[in-house]
Structure 1
Amino acid sequence: MAEESDQQVYARRRQAMVERQIAGRGITSSVVLDAMGSVPREAFLPPSMREFAYEDSPLPINEEQTISQPYIVAYMVDALQLTGGGRILEVGTGSGYAAAVLGEIGDRVVTLERYQSLADSARGVLDSLGYDNVEVIYTDGTLGWSEKAPYDAIVVAAGGPEVPESLKQQLAIGGRLVIPVGPAQTEQALVRVTRVSESEFREEHLTEVRFVPLVGDAGWEDRRGNHPNKRAPVARAAPSHAAQESNDATTSELVAQAAEPIDDIDEGEIDKMLERIGDSRVVLIGEASHGTSEFYRFRARITRALIEKKGFNFVAVEADWPDASRVDHYVRHRQTPPSEWTAFSRFPTWMWRNEEVRDFVDWLREYNAGIDDADKRVGFHGLDLYSLFTSIDAVLDYLDEVDPEAAMTARERYGCLTPWQADPMTYGRAAVSGRYRECEDDAVAMLVELLNKRMTYTDQDGERFLDAVQNARLIANAERYYRSMYSGYSDSWNLRDQHMFDTLESLLSHGGQGTKAVVWEHNSHIGDASATDMLARGQHNVGQLCREAYGDDAYLIGFGTHSGTVAAATDWDDPMEVKQVRPSLEGSWERIFHETGIPAFTLPLRHVPLPELDKRLHGIYLERAIGVIYRPETERASHYFKARLADQFDEYVWIDQTRAVTPLSSKTLEGVPETYPFGL
């Protein structure tokens, strides 16, 4: 049998995409299905990405933009209620893929793009494929293109604060406009506007979506300049005589001038950092991996100072609520019996059951022992989504019994708990089978039953109301989160981070006016998502939500390292290994900091003392993220993303050489008191 050509392979994958991802999700319009089956998506991608052309995922293109997920393209085109023919306007050409789909349906398509390079590239691909009925125009798309109006249909591939009046006025009577709109750049509703008459329009809500911002005169202002959600600019200090800069200096040399060396990870001087934090209400402290000793220890050093010197009231961590409640019970010397299960006993156990965390927990218990008023003792709470890791373990056990193939798929998906590991390689291996969807309802029902049983841990004391409210939120979000992980209909990343932010706000509200929180999470959660690749995928995170809610009262601290060792697994539910961290890549922030030659330092980013350095720190470079999964062999694809560091964080902590955390063993825990949070 002759080997398939590349074109035959793509054609077969394209038809499978239409059947499974589009028709399988309820799109029935024959013109939409035919169009999606006719356009070669691979032609609109860089050669290195064409292998993933028909995966159920958006993919990166130039100018920090993406080619949309095929289902989303089909859904929006279907929402236009096209039957064939007519004049169509598209705002946001991007790669040109959606314009080609529209070109298969409409008589004439005008597509508008604000990036010259994207407009030129899309025009070239469309011309080469013979789409002579599609015209690409480089312009501000928010204003439409009145020269070719009126249009029978208008579709907008970016989210605006409201429906632009300019676009409504370019609709023909009976024409439909489909656009994502919302009061914030992180949340939008997809709406359809139908022009009923010259002056009357009917608006329909279709679904909740996440799109990149619609930038232009009738949309949001450019994030690279000023925009409504951007923090007010701060005054920049002039460089001292000792730190005179030069435009000829390398970025590493400028960083070395501005850096504040760390002489001791556990007890070093951090008064200057505390001054910069000022009166911030929420301090979010990151980590570049979940298994690095120095990250945990210096995070604990900062937190101890915030508690002792600035009166912070609780620590909120990227951990399950019920497991963290055992730690809270222990550190606050609560009198009621603790929950009966062992905290953090499921994969990844090393993330919280390690010597570094134990040292901080014991310090916090001792600190609280000196506070007579129990209500004023510093708490320890989990922000994460309803016993995430324990519940994942239950799901895998269930799927191992009913559908081993689906269980393998689930392990792939759960291994993608950072947004970059899922795009595109790991995500491509986690394509959902039909049988996986068939067992979805039973698996979710099993989870809700599990949670209802597990949430009986609520203590009989003054904290009961807070726990009851949180438990109700956990169970409500549990169903949504797991269903999104199975079906891919929603963005599970956004659901999870929104839940963590809502939990943080609930804790702050419960504490009352003046309550202050320290947050411990991965860089991918606490660094502002709008300054990274996540923006192009419509993803937000806790750090971005905190900046939008608290402005300069939220202080974001990131971490990084060049090389060393890390505690991590190769796949979900695999044993922990001490892995060698590869030296950072050329063209990364990590390589810039490594080349300073300084072993460890902090760098202020909100108030950079050197104007030239400040400018460069707003540039775009690669940044590394290691979660509980680390795959050095695919590191560039699975662990690096692009970021503007000075927009992502307010402060950066650099530790050049690092080592893995030390997990707690049963032998280590022998003889601990019954109330000890980590059990045996």
Structure 2
Amino acid sequence: MTVRRAADSGAAAAAEVRSLARPLSDDAGLDTLVDRVHGARFVCVGEASHGTSDYYRWRARLTRRLVEEHGFSWVGVEGDWPDCWRINRWVKGDADQDLDAVAVLGRFERWPTWMWANREVADFLTWLHAYNLARPRPLRVGFYGLDVYSLWDSLWEIMGWLESNAPESLPTALRAWQCFVPFGEDPHRYARSTRLVPAGCESDVVRLLVEVRSRARERAGDEEMLDVVQNAEVATNAEHYYRTMVRGDRQPWNVRDHHMVDTVERLARHAGPSSQGVVWAHNTHVGDARATDMAREGLVNVGQLLRERHRAGEVALVGLASHRGTVVAAGAWGAAESNLPVPDGHPGSLEALLHESLGSPAVIVFPDDRAGPWLSGWQGHRAIGVVYHPEREALGNYVPTRIGARYDALIWLERTTALHPLHHEGRPTEPELETEPTGF
């Protein structure tokens, strides 16, 4: 009887999948998804890995339609603010116009560079640059980084701006910088030092943030001031992030995702009360953490926080998944990247069910009533980090998920291929403790 009930449940879940899925072969296959999400203020689009070409390309195609057809005015990505700010200025026609997208992306240095320095992102930015230059300057679409890691780069940017625009405030920035100097721009050394002096440089970066915010009030709505304020926010939250790493708990993850959501809110305010934006991040950030086992660990994420802060309908969460293929990843943190196989979805997983039920790419838009056996049930959902071991996948790469509560829609791809990095990684770097882009 138990076997029969399991078979009946599986058959019902497969039937539910088939009833909701729509074929996906070209941009027209995105119609039902665009219709579902275009009214949201924040459309968060995920990926099951940071190294899969098809995820990047379909996410870009969806974003293009939201920009061209529905006036979305900014894109926020799981990248460092200073690096993405240079891209933002390029795509808006404000700097480096003698360069192409490949040259601009070639400046990414922090491992794993392949996350953004890849052919797929270059193609999207090339399109966005041309799109923007055909529009009036106030209507050009921005491209911004949401992440928290760039402590030293952000401090350097702040000092450069203060030196030129508010030299009387420069001593405040220098005090913050000098507090970090003994650690040689090494977040690990700083994090370890706070075991003995828990406050560390916290008071210095907080004073700097207060100073920069006061300057921002004088230039509200200024795009240049947005950059300065955000760098101060990064410096403050990065100091907090690295200080919490030494505790050995999961708090750094929450610091990071709160920072990303606060940045999303800041971008939305800057763009205006009726603005709409697209967020690009890993599924583990986009899909509501309350619908996974992350909640038992006390973890929150971007999708959950945005849903909690905004009314129903203002936030749309879109996941991506695939059955098999190849992916760019590394065998250890800081190591050279390589193309690795992605095995067939593990039996009993979300990926296995979708393969067995559909067998070809599809868009699945979830209805308001998500009580069906597939949408309300629990299944493992694959998540691949920048460090990946295909032979161990079944032991740690599947996140228990209630799919109907985690997302509002899912893009399903049967077979995917590896991303195309613009260059290979340089020398190995020291692990950043719990700072991996997917949190694994």
Q: What is the correspondence of 1:264-303 to structure 2 with a 5 Å cutoff? A: 264=26, 267-303=27-63
Query: 1:249 and 1:584, CA in 2 relative to 1: closer, same or farther beyond 3 A?
Result: closer
The residue identity in structure 1 corresponding to 2:309 is A
Aligned to 2:129: 365
SS at match of 2:256: helix
Alignment of 1:98-117 (within 5 A): none
User: Residue 226 of structure 2 aligns to a residue in which SS?
Assistant: helix
Which position in structure 1 is the counterpart of 2:421?
663
1:486 alignment partner, one of 218, 229, 246:
246
Residues 128-178 of structure 1: per-residue CA shift (max 9 Å, x gap): xxxxxxxxxxxxxxxxxxxxxxxxxxxxxxxxxxxxxxxxxxxxxxxxxxx
Q: Distance in 2 between matches of 1:523 and 1:402?
A: 29
CA distance in 2: counterparts of 1:580 and 1:289, whole angstroms: 13
1:307 aligns with 2:67: yes
Deviation at 1:616, TM superposition (A): 2.7
* Cross-structure match for 2:352: 591
The residue aligned with 1:385 is 148
1:262/1:658 CA distance change after superposition, 3 Å = same
| Structural mapping, 1:312-391, within 5 Å | 312-334=72-94, 343-372=107-136, 374-387=137-150
Which residue of 542, 561, 572 corresponds with 2:322?
A: 561
Greater share of helix residues, 1 or 2? 2
Residue 490 of structure 1 deviates from its aligned partner by 6.6
Asked if structure 2 preserves the Cα contact closer than 8 Å seen for 1:631 and 1:638, the reply is no
The amino acid that maps onto 1:385 is V
Cα distance in 1 between the residues matched to 2:353 and 2:21: 13
The runs of 5 or more residues in structure 2 that have no matched partner are 1-7, 155-181, 425-440
- What's the secondary structure of 2:146's corresponding residue? strand
Match of 1:506 among 266, 269, 273: 266
Q: Give the distance between the partners of 2:383 and 2:261, measured in 1 at CA.
A: 21
TM-score when scaled to structure 1? 0.50
* 3-state SS of 2:36 partner: helix
CA distance in 2, matches of 1:524, 1:477: 20
C-alpha distance in structure 2 between counterparts of 1:474 and 1:436, whole Å: 19
Aligned counterparts of 2:18 and 2:105: Cα–Cα separation in 1: 48
CA shift, 1:486, in A, is 1.9
Equivalence for 1:131:
none
- What amino acid sits opposite 2:76 in the alignment? A
The count of aligned residue pairs is 374
Residues 533 and 389 (structure 1 numbering): CA distance in 2 closer, same or farther, change over 3 Å? Answer: farther
Q: 1:595 to 1:389 in 2, by over 3 A?
A: farther
Which structure has the larger Rg? Answer: 1
Superposition RMSD in Å: 3.5
**Take 2:222 and 2:277, find their aligned partners in 1: how far apart are those partners?**
20
Contact 1:566 1:661 in 2 (8 A): yes
Change (3 A) 1:368 1:277: same
Q: Is the 8 A contact 1:297 1:356 kept in 2?
A: yes
* Structure 1, unpaired ranges of 5+: 1-245, 392-397, 411-431, 667-680
Q: Which amino acid aligns with 2:346?
A: L
| Matching residue of 2:25 | 263
1:466 Cα shift?
A: 1.1
TM-score when normalising by structure 2: 0.76
Partner AA of 1:653 in structure 2: I
Q: Is the 8 A contact 2:152 2:185 kept in 1?
A: no
Among 389, 393, 399, the residue aligned to 1:635: 393
- 1:260 is aligned with what amino acid? R
Whether the 8 Å CA contact 2:257–2:285 is kept in 1: the answer is: yes
1:563 Cα deviation after fit: 1.0
In the alignment, what sits opposite 1:582?
343
In structure 2, what is the equivalent of residue 464 of structure 1?
224
Q: Deviations over 1:400-455 (max 9, x none)?
A: 9999xx88xx9xxxxxxxxxxxxxxxxxxxxx9x999459888x79x97xx99xx9
Aligned position for 1:524: 284
Equivalent position amino acid for 1:380 in 2: F
Shift of 1:620: 0.8
Counterpart of 1:252 (choices 14, 24, 36) is 14
Matches within 5 A, 1:444-459: none
1:462 offset after TM fit, Å? 3.6
Shift of 1:247: 7.6
State whether residues 291 and 401 of structure 2, in contact with CA within 8 Å, keep that contact through their aligned partners in structure 1: yes
User: Identity of counterpart residues, as a percentage?
Assistant: 40
The CA deviation at 1:473 is 1.1
